[in-house]
């Protein structure tokens, strides 16, 4: 199984702004590529090592609404199409608002294909 096919849950494409906070407190702006119940893929401008723990703030509504997730990097690969890197992240928590985000992404993807 390739590193891009490790998730057992269905993935849903959604593009949302993400603020990544690294263990040293510094931050990066990124965006989601797809999400699943247990993780997500993020387009990031910087290579990050597998295994580090991150805090993610995902925009879910207006400018002041964000969902906080604690994740760790499963893998990081070069992503020249997005001028950076593709991070495979696994959640350490799954708050109920994230499940709502997942339902919305699933519904939007289903509507596009039906």
Domain ranges across the chain? 3-113
Along the chain (114 residues), what's the average pLDDT of each consecutive run of 10 residues? Answer: 59 91 96 92 96 92 79 95 94 79 78 62
Nearest-angstrom CA–CA distance, 30 and 2: 23
Q: Model-level pTM?
A: 0.80
Specify the fold of 3-113: Thrombin, subunit H (2.40.10)
For residue 5, the number of C-alpha atoms closer than 13 Å in the C-beta half-sphere is: 2
Q: What is the pLDDT of residue 99?
A: 79
């Amino acid at each position: 199984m390739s590193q891009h096919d490790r998730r057992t849950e269905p993935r849903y494409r959604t593009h949302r702004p993400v603020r990544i906070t690294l263990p040293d407190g510094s931050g990066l702006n990124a965006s989601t590529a797809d999400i699943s119940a247990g993780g997500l893929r993020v387009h990031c401008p910087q290579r990050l090592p597998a295994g580090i723990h991150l805090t993610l703030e995902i925009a879910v509504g207006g400018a002041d609404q964000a969902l906080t997730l604690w994740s760790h990097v499963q893998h990081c690969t070069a992503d020249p199409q997005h001028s950076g890197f593709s991070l495979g992240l696994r959640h350490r928590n799954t708050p109920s608002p994230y499940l709502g985000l997942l339902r919305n992404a699933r519904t939007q993807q289903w509507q596009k294909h039906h």
